[in-house]
A and B are shown apart, each in its own frame.
Chain A
């Protein structure tokens, strides 16, 4: 009996010690790339803001406080939602029609050089305040920058996209018009950059744009965040 007792105690002690001491192994390495991206990622593609005039950053930044995209969808962690503004307002009238919003129908450009690899152009624009959950991306364009970075531009106006899959685009070239299609309650542009063209495996990466104004202050290279008004130089 003494032998059994001793064996039980040794088993308990050994098991507990092993389990406590192997946290690193059990937790694995996944996420270390995400940490590196968060802290040090430098955008490879030369990006410029994909629009003209003043736009307001509704959501953007590297925390859940600043940016609702930060969780729970990993591929759009650093995404921006942006609306066109005039005199600090994004609309005229009562806002019940898409046409009330300055953003609706505004020209949108390719933010960087690349190739169109996916698009959709036939989704109806929503009535403001109503979202289309079935076609969340709405009308969209995906640009492969041919360096492991992929731009996603979402919620275009129906039938406004003027490029096709396979086309090569250059930075600043018009690709379509801003709209209110997909999972969107009002006309705006959703833009994000990720590491693969897949919504399953892509990891969201921070976007640094070149030569623009942030609240009328010149920015050589920067990441727009919530509450800023930005304008391409």
Chain B
């Protein structure tokens, strides 16, 4: 895993030293692979205050840009890992998580090299623990904003911030809706893109995902992800 970290860090640093631009094509399809460093607390599942986990995360993103420069985004992601804790090592176990996001973002600001889109996002995710003996389904609805900045002709930065406001959580124990009173979450990503040609970009992305459910059987999850991807425009 240390080698993974090193490779990703080196690749991202080298990518940052070259140049690109925001695409003008209508459709973009991106595949990326990255490393995830995560922390998890789920007192329904185990009496562990904080599990660590690390593993590869795979992502497939599709973005369609409308005539008015509004964005429709679909993201799929899959993570496979092992939950670990030194304190109660006999409770270490496997962990899988898959998710799907839909978002529609309307252009609200466009001046010079800076653009802002704002809209709504839906995220559906399913996590399986311990060979699937415990399963947790989350459906979140929230607001999202994307901020794009054109550094120069070949390089761009883009950042998306999502704040879920409603959560439907279904586990082996129960199914319930939660709102901001009990559930606070933020998903933030920061992308650096470099144009290789009219049809291809390469991207380096950092994701910060955090969720907190304030109930007696507390749930919290924190993820840092570094991804490298290839983006096909058509």
Chain A contact residues, CB within 8 Å of chain B: 5, 8, 12, 16, 19-20, 23-24, 26-32, 34-35, 37-39, 63-64, 70-74, 77, 200-201
Chain B positions 117 through 145: 1 when the CB is less than 8 Å from some CB of chain A, otherwise 0: 00000000000001001100000000000
Task: Mark B65-91 against chain A: 1 for CB-CB distance below 8 A, else 0.
Answer: 000000000000000000000011011
- Chain A residues near B171 (CB, 8 Å)? 72
Interchain CB contact under 8 A, B133 and A27: no
Considering only residues 18-63 of chain B, those with a C-beta below 8 Å from chain A are: 39, 41, 43-50
Of A5, A23, A71, the contact of B44 (CB 8 Å cutoff):
A71
Residues on the B chain within 8 Å of A35, using CB = 47-49, 87-88
Residue contact B130 to A64, C-beta cutoff 8 Å:
yes
Residues of B participating in the A interface, judged by any CB pair closer than 8 Å: 39, 41, 43-50, 87-88, 90-91, 130, 133-134, 149, 151, 157, 171-173, 190, 206, 208, 210, 212, 216-218, 220, 222, 224
Known: A16-B190, A72-B217. 5 other contacts (CB 8 A): A27-B39, A28-B220, A30-B43, A31-B43, A64-B133
Q: Is the CB of A31 within 8 A of B48?
A: yes
Decide if B190 touches A31 in the complex (CB within 8 Å). Answer: no
Q: How far is the CB of A197 from chain B (nearest CB, A)?
A: 14
User: Within the complex, which residue of A8, A31, A39, A77 is in contact with B50, where a contact is CB–CB below 8 Å?
Assistant: A31
Q: Check A16 against B43 for contact (C-beta < 8 Å).
A: no
Output the least CB separation between A29 and chain B (Å): 7
Contact between A31 and B41 (Cβ–Cβ < 8 Å)?
yes
A72's partner among B50, B88, B134, B151 (CB-CB below 8 A) is B134
Q: Establish whether residues B41 and A72, one from each chain, have CB atoms under 8 Å apart when the complex forms.
A: no
Q: Nearest residue in A to B211 (C-beta to C-beta)?
A: A26
Are A27 and B47 touching (Cβ within 8 A)?
no
Q: Could you say which residues of chain A place their CB within 8 Å of the CB of B208?
A: 19
> By the criterion CB–CB under 8 Å, are A27 and B217 in contact?
no
